[in-house]
Amino acid sequence: MAEFDFDLFVIGAGSGGVRAGRMAAGMGKRVGMAEDRYLGGTCVNVGCVPKKLYVYASHYADDFEQARGFGWQAGAATFDWPTLRDNKSHEITRLNGIYRNMLNQAGCSLLDGRARVVDAHTVAVGEQHYSAERILIATGGWPYVPQFPGHEHVISSNEVFDLDTFPQRMIVVGGGYIAVEFAGIFAGLGAKTHQLYRGELFLRGFDGEVRQCVADEMRKKRVDLRFSTDIECIEKQPDGSLLARLNTGETLEADCILYATGRVPNVTGLGLENVAVRQRENGAIIVNEQMQTGEPSIYAIGDVTDRVQLTPVALAEGMALVRHLYEGQPMVVDYELIPTAVFCQPNIGTVGLTEERARERNGEVDVYSSSFRALKHTLSGSDERTFMKLLVEPVSDKVVGVHMVGPDAGEIIQGVAIALKAGATKAIFDSTIGIHPTAAEEFVTMRSKSRY
């Protein structure tokens, strides 16, 4: 008789947890999995997938207007929020069903409910206890909203996709990629949109020129950016609108205020106090290079460890862990050269070092950059500009960073990331024949250094 009910019990059916559970089950392991909210985690339900659908929707107003330069004449376009919202919900429901079928077909025992750790080899879901040789925590992150007078009137990214009515006046608070993306979404859909950030310039950690370029372009697209600005309190008005009092002494009125001020590890109620799992001050679970916690039988992957908060990273960690545990392979996840996209308008795509980080690491760096108006906009009438940048280590000629602001930047940088992963030099970029006419060809035609 088996010593444990399960070989592996996964807490959290997000991207990383599902990948790990399916792979382990495919290797013949007995896998239990508990999820108390929705299958697919943040990415599928209140993150990457619905956000990208809303980004698509927000482009159409500009597309309709720009089509006139190409000879298309159309009547006034109107936007219907319930159609977008409900069609999105139907798609998410479809994806939830796919995840459930995948897990069932893989042989995972899926339990609906919040799991908590009882001891090193036991989890409880409701009143039922299950024993497991190993436990994997993959509960992801949760939106963080600071406490201040009137905070109860704001929403987070969990609620923003399903608003009953479309806000004609929107305030987005925050300076990370989520805030930047939603400011672009609501402005594109027609809301009068303000974005407030307490720092001097948003998107901290991204390349400085990229940050400034995005700020310039967002202002062109009707987003009122206010840096060094924060909300001190929010008052609900008799008509249901919200009055935000700012640290600058000004006030703003809005129908909705979204706080996108970061995410914290989702560890509430997990029972980690019952085991030797160590955590950082923000609750993040501390793991070693094998994803193992201070309790040898318990592992953690993804956003709950608060290392690199990206869905593909959680997937990579889940796959590597299962191969390590059940196939004896080395536990290898390479965190260098992770490509990233921000679906603001226009998009950001980036891989490798920023110029600031490259100078800090290497002392010197050759910078190649280009800013131009894309061919499409010679007829569209738009003054949007595309920005591209290559960073090269002078001695080795190795390309150490590539950055782009422009349409489809994420699609372009994904391919460039492969080149950097392979160790491509500037000479290799230069010897590659471009595809003409495309924006992407600029990466293989930049010959003159912008600076050293």
**Angle at alpha carbon of residue 265, lines to 206 and 175, rounded to 5°:** 30
Name every residue whose Cβ is closer than 8 Å to that of residue 348 and which is 6 or more positions away in sequence. Answer: 203, 206, 210, 214, 340, 341, 342, 403, 404, 405, 409, 410
Is the torsion defined by CA of 213, 193, 408, 71 positive or negative?
negative
Q: Which of 90, 129, 377, 436 is catalytic?
A: 436
Listed residue (397, 386, 390) closest to 369, CA to CA: 390
Instruction: For residue 357, count CB atoms less than 10 angstroms from its CB and return exposed for 0-12, middle for 13-18, buried for 19 or more.
Output: middle
Whether 90 is a known active-site residue: answer no
Q: At what angle do helices 311-327 and 15-26 cross, to 10 degrees?
A: 30
User: What is the rounded distance in angstroms from the CA atom of residue 84 to the CA atom of residue 144?
Assistant: 26
Residue entry with tokens 């609501």? 186
User: What is the rounded distance in angstroms from the CA atom of residue 180 to the CA atom of residue 172?
Assistant: 8
User: What is the rounded distance in angstroms from the CA atom of residue 74 to the CA atom of residue 70?
Assistant: 12
For the range 229-234, what are the long-range contacts, defined as Cβ-Cβ under 8 Å and sequence gap of 24 or more?
A: 229/196, 229/197, 229/198, 230/173, 230/196, 230/198, 231/148, 231/171, 231/173, 231/196, 231/257, 232/148, 232/149, 233/148, 233/149, 233/150, 234/148, 234/149, 234/150, 234/151, 234/153, 234/154
Name the residues annotated as catalytic.
436
